[in-house]
Homo-oligomer: A and B are copies of this chain.
Amino acid sequence: MDVDLPADLPGREELLARELAYSQDLQRSGAWRHLWRIAGQYSNLSVFDVADNDALHDLLWNLPLFPFMRIDVTPLAHHPSSID
């Protein structure tokens, strides 16, 4: 997920606060399993654990920053060498 948020967007701080709350609620619920910053970019690498593609799209579409993001989804599966 890459973010491109105008510096002078009206309501910018309130938007970021809502994004933070939304993200942390989902992390606590377990749907947003991992969240890393990509070093040097206003971007993140995230791993989600959801029931299906519909649930994933709803989750992402409702991100407060969604209109300012470019998102690529890579479908992940269990790896046969994984010890998990």
Min CB distance A78 to B, Å, is 5
| Copies of this chain, count | 10
B78 and A54: CB pair below 8 A?
yes
A37 and B79: CB pair below 8 A?
yes
The size bracket of the interface on A is: 35 or more
B76 and A45: CB pair below 8 A?
yes
Chain A contact residues, CB within 8 Å of chain B: 7, 19-20, 23-24, 27-28, 34-41, 44-45, 47, 52-54, 56-57, 60-61, 67, 71-84
Q: 28 A-B contacts, Cβ less than 8 Å apart?
A: A7-B67, A20-B81, A24-B81, A24-B83, A27-B82, A27-B83, A34-B34, A35-B79, A36-B78, A36-B79, A37-B77, A37-B79, A38-B76, A38-B77, A39-B53, A39-B56, A39-B76, A40-B56, A40-B57, A40-B60, A40-B72, A40-B73, A45-B76, A53-B76, A54-B78, A56-B75, A57-B77, A75-B75
